[in-house]
Structure 1
Amino acid sequence: MTKQTNHKNSDELNAVELEIARNRLASIAEEVGTALIRTSYSPNIKDRRDCSAGIYAPDGELLAQAEHIPLHLGLMPTVIRNALAEYGAENLRPGDVLMTNNPYLGGPHLPDICVITPVFRGEELVAVVANIAHHVDVGGMTPGSMAGHSQEIFQEGVRIPTMRLYAEGELQREVLALLMMNIRTADKTRGDLMAQVAANRLGERRLLELLDEWGTDGYARAGRSLISYAERRTRAAIAELPDGAGTFTDYLEHNGVEEEKIPITATVTVDGEELHIDLTETADQVAGAVNCSFAVSEACVAYVIKTLTDPTLPSNAGLMAPITVKTRPGSLVHVQFPGAVAHGNIQTSQRIVDAIYGAFEKFTDGVVPAASSGSMSMVTVGGVDPRDGTYYSYVETYGGGQGAAASGPGASATHTHMTNTRNTPCEVIEREYPLRVDAYEIARGTGGEGRHRGGDALLRRLTLTRGQAAVVAGTSRVTTAPWGLDGGHDGAPARVLRRGADGVEEERASMSHFTLGEGDSVSIQTAGGGGYGSAGN
């Protein structure tokens, strides 16, 4: 039975007050994210901006987010809520700072470390500010900590339980020392971690300034009002969709260890103002590192509902209130310990989106776009630089073709769906690492034909200029292709190549790991987007 609409009550803010509160809190979240980007050490955060930030109520309910990465933003509420419950909010003290990267709490993978700062007014916990950032190394079997062929979490790096990095304002030096001893690029990781702490401190100051204006009760009232407002907006947006149900199955082509056709099945039901998404028919968790946490699945759902209804829907706890997501523990989309997860968000989150879109397409008309490139297409290159004997770790995700839609063509060489990072400039790559960028271009003609063409793919080729390096190249849609819709053609598949210094090229699987020597290169051409509509119409 459909629930009754959550009508506004007399305790809530009026329309003007709501807009002021929404913008005040969002601006604090944005300032936290900006501070993190400007003070971080690694190109992965300061150039690519692989990080996100948000403001939360004392119980972990999301109040406001910065407009960063859909995957991070969708799963952070689960991480924060579970981390606070695991540690115990009653055990927190002013000056404490928590950290965790545990995927079984709802995090994505181990390089994404979440830093959580409780905000106290006197002795009362009144708010939480948190950010998450992708670190270029957290240990594990390969430089960059993104091995696709890992088969258990212990091979992927250091797993951090919810614990204090700062205790009542004092850095826990032994904790930090233990963490850094297990990381190849300790200088970069330490700098980025301290940047996360400093960014949260800025957010804490801004929240306390706000609390001086509004008072604790006023802040709590604003939070309740914003969540209620988001729920009302989301219910209204869902109600605009046609009632109905649809089921669709899409496939991953590689489990990280070997090629395997892995089904991801989504059943979508729209019932008035409510949305139900069932992912329980998805395959069991697999041997390699493409499993993902249940929170990743929830993040995909939050993204899809905004893209198919109203992208201006407020991103707070109210967004998911009228939405039910059902997963099966022990499946690809709800991994259980000790399943490997490094590429769950890189590959699997994108295919979850494709499956949900496909299910919506069964009972809607002109709402769903064609499939995009289908992967975040991550490349890591790491080793010891023989010039100075230090470890380095290049980490980057590559854009691809965006699927076309009824409204127009897809964009080319862009990040789509659950990723929203920038690129690392070629000059930065060549300055920071023993790498030369030999190609960085749009792969013309790779988008699917149609009334509206799919976006073209991206090609990047990197050559190692000295020493030896370990490479992990992880993409998707190599043996499959992004599907077109309404008569539109599929996009061109992706390609992974290893080229020796002698010029001999070797095609590799979508999930590959190999070694480069001086003069050897790796290249990824991502997939093009699917086309929409018959070209003759």
Structure 2
Amino acid sequence: MSAAVTKAADPVLLALTQNRLDHISQQMGHVMVRTARSPIFSQAHDFTCFIAGPDGRVTAQADGIPIHSGGGGFAARAILRDFEGDIADGDVFLLNDPWAAGGNHLPDWVIARPVFVEGRLVSLVCNRAHQSDIGGGAAGTYNPEATEVWQEGVRLPVLKLIEAGKVRRDLWKLLLLNTRTPDLLEGDLGAMLGSTRIGAEQVARLVTELGVARALGCFDGILAHAAGRMGAALAEVPDGVYEGEERSDNDCFELRDIWVRVRVTIAGGRATVDFTGTDPQIRGFKNSTVANTHSAVYTAFASFFDPAIPRNEGTFSVIDIVAPEGSLVNAREGAATTMDTVFVAHEIIHAVWKALNQAAPDRAAAGWAKNIFGVTSGREPGAEGADGRPYVFYHGLAAAGAGAVEGRDGFNQIGHLCTLGGLTISNAETYERLYPVHFNRQELRCDGGGAGQWRGGTGAHYDVEIKTPALYSFRGEGLRYRTGFGVKGGGWGAAGEMHVQEGDGAPAPAPKFGLKRLGAGRLTADSPGGGGWGDPMSRPVDTVWRDWRDGLVSTEAARTRYGVILTGDPDDPEATLAVAVDQIATAALRKR
């Protein structure tokens, strides 16, 4: 530990500094939500603000989505590498490329603003945000027919978007020319710039108050403290080698099993996560980049252990990752990768969880269902039949259910596993005002969640009319196979289903992945359910009755899965617990 760190290692000061940095990142997020133009930001919060030190290590990532910030250090260090000796006060950087710039995937653009105090670089304040559209072969950033990165959108190395306080208008115009929704992109970039400006001002104020040397010592101390906390958590787990694996049933073009395999070795308060044995990279766009794989592994560890452990790059410095080049978890340059932050990140997290479930079974977590929602893009109705502005509509309200843990049912509907709830499900009424759509139904699913002492999340029934001809980009990973695994005797969540209907035609099953151009029509879905935790026969009878009254568990499932005999109609206000439950028959069934 350096003298500066030792001098700054007052635990109260470190805690206050960490909390203040976290608060700054959250304030940046508030600015972004209130000023961004795209609903993907203002409604869904598909962005993350984080703060790195002058060496590019992330010290605060309290805002947003862990898959964005876990690998944020790769982007920060790419800036320091590519512009060594050429970073000045008033510069702002932009990047997205996974190989040239430490990006996760092309839609996630990073705006990074260096912070100088007393002429010294003290921080990089960053906002990584998933853009509504960045060109490529399909509107909405996701091209499920892509087989190489050049079909997915514009690639950005580390660039100076603002140089010495002046916007590079040539680059700005280039960016707007490479999107189908330039009005949204221009407003969203402005919001990203504004959020980082607010963050930079507050970081500079903090460093000035502490003094540069003391502040940088605190940054190092924060990272060292986090490493110690995670190391202590790992030391409580028996040393050993634990294995896990997770599959996808498709490569985006055909049905075939694709496997992520991991060996987690825990020894002496450190962990080695080795993906040797994972399948080779595939043609489709579900290949992971190095930064994304690190983010997914960090998400798995952060969500498995004590939530009081700080979340910064120091936390994960005790975790070594082996990701063979050319595999699903370390695709070679040029591979299609746009889906990687969701799938194959989901498979990585599940595989690591399964290994950790063996290492620390008292903390075992059930599997989250793989989401099925895609993107619809078209043009708004214009005046007198003319085409209006382009729109890109994300079907986020078809989100799936999460897995249960001890003491809590799985969330009935939630964003992707890689977001851990950071991706917000928007209101149907808001979307109906913003897009040419009408929602017929959006309600929680019956019998979707895996049975257990703690039930898996149910998923949802989803029914929406699309009022214009549109291009559908399907991303139905969780369709037609079960993905939310149960633990400790808990059951699997239900598989997802989705159908599309053009005009007055008959509904047809939606493809898992692909593009389909349809006229005005309708999309319906049953999103998949999360896994259950523990023996379903241990679930309290009154809780099963409550789920039955709420329409989440059917009379038949109450009997066959939970051993609870219910009579009458759950919609009958007289169907109280005392009246509806046959206590004698239930007790007899549960004894078997």
One-letter amino acid of the counterpart of residue 412, structure 1:
N
Q: Following TM superposition, by how much is the alpha carbon of 1:315 offset from its aligned partner in structure 2, in angstroms?
A: 1.5
Distance in structure 1 (CA, Å) of the matches to 2:79 and 2:319: 23
Q: Following TM superposition, by how much is the alpha carbon of 1:344 offset from its aligned partner in structure 2, in angstroms?
A: 1.1
Instruction: Name the structure 2 match of 1:395.
Output: 394
Instruction: Name the structure 1 match of 2:515.
Output: 513
One-letter amino acid of the counterpart of residue 308, structure 2:
T
Tell me if structure 2 keeps the 8 A contact 1:380–1:395: yes
Q: Residues 10 and 126 of structure 1: is their aligned pair in 2 closer, same or farther, counting only changes over 3 Å?
A: closer
Instruction: Name the structure 2 match of 1:423.
Output: 425
User: After alignment, is 106-115 or 178-187 more displaced?
Assistant: 106-115
One-letter amino acid of the counterpart of residue 30, structure 1:
Q
Instruction: Name the structure 2 match of 1:526.
Output: 527
Distance in structure 2 (CA, Å) of the matches to 1:188 and 1:9: 44
TM-score by length of 1: 0.94
Aligned 1:60-459 pairs, distance under 5 A: 60-85=56-81, 87-104=82-99, 105-375=101-371, 377-387=372-382, 388-397=387-396, 398-415=398-415, 417-419=417-419, 420-459=422-461
Q: 1:235 aligns to what SS in structure 2?
A: helix
One-letter amino acid of the counterpart of residue 325, structure 1:
I
One-letter amino acid of the counterpart of residue 113, structure 1:
W
Q: Following TM superposition, by how much is the alpha carbon of 1:408 offset from its aligned partner in structure 2, in angstroms?
A: 3.5
User: After alignment, is 417-426 or 283-292 more displaced?
Assistant: 417-426
Q: Residues 532 and 401 of structure 1: is their aligned pair in 2 closer, same or farther, counting only changes over 3 Å?
A: same
Asked which structure has the greater RCO (Cα within 8 Å, sep 6+), the reply is 1
Instruction: Name the structure 1 match of 2:543.
Output: none
Tell me if structure 1 keeps the 8 A contact 2:414–2:424: no
One-letter amino acid of the counterpart of residue 220, structure 1:
L
User: Please, which runs of 5 or more residues in structure 2 have no aligned partner?
Assistant: 539-592
Tell me if structure 1 keeps the 8 A contact 2:271–2:319: yes
Distance in structure 1 (CA, Å) of the matches to 2:229 and 2:361: 22
Q: String of CA shifts for 1:164-217, please: whole Å, max 9, x gaps.
A: 110111110010111111110000011101110111111111122112211111
Tell me if structure 2 keeps the 8 A contact 1:347–1:475: no
Distance in structure 2 (CA, Å) of the matches to 1:148 and 1:411: 28
Q: 2:417 aligns to what SS in structure 1?
A: coil
Q: Following TM superposition, by how much is the alpha carbon of 1:501 offset from its aligned partner in structure 2, in angstroms?
A: 2.1
Q: String of CA shifts for 1:414-456, please: whole Å, max 9, x gaps.
A: 2353112112221221222222222211112101112222110
Q: Following TM superposition, by how much is the alpha carbon of 1:23 offset from its aligned partner in structure 2, in angstroms?
A: 1.2
One-letter amino acid of the counterpart of residue 379, structure 1:
G
Q: Following TM superposition, by how much is the alpha carbon of 1:45 offset from its aligned partner in structure 2, in angstroms?
A: 0.2
Q: How many residues align?
A: 529
TM-score by length of 2: 0.86
Q: 2:272 aligns to what SS in structure 1?
A: strand
User: After alignment, is 416-425 or 164-173 more displaced?
Assistant: 416-425
Q: 2:536 aligns to what SS in structure 1?
A: coil
Distance in structure 2 (CA, Å) of the matches to 1:413 and 1:503: 30
Instruction: Name the structure 1 match of 2:579.
Output: none
Distance in structure 2 (CA, Å) of the matches to 1:483 and 1:66: 29
Q: 1:362 aligns to what SS in structure 2?
A: helix
Q: String of CA shifts for 1:361-396, please: whole Å, max 9, x gaps.
A: 334323221211134x34211122241532111135
Tell me if structure 2 keeps the 8 A contact 1:457–1:526: yes
Distance in structure 2 (CA, Å) of the matches to 1:433 and 1:408: 36
User: Please, which runs of 5 or more residues in structure 1 have no aligned partner?
Assistant: none
Aligned-residue Cα RMSD (Å) equals 2.0
Q: 2:210 aligns to what SS in structure 1?
A: helix
One-letter amino acid of the counterpart of residue 492, structure 1:
A
Tell me if structure 2 keeps the 8 A contact 1:383–1:470: yes
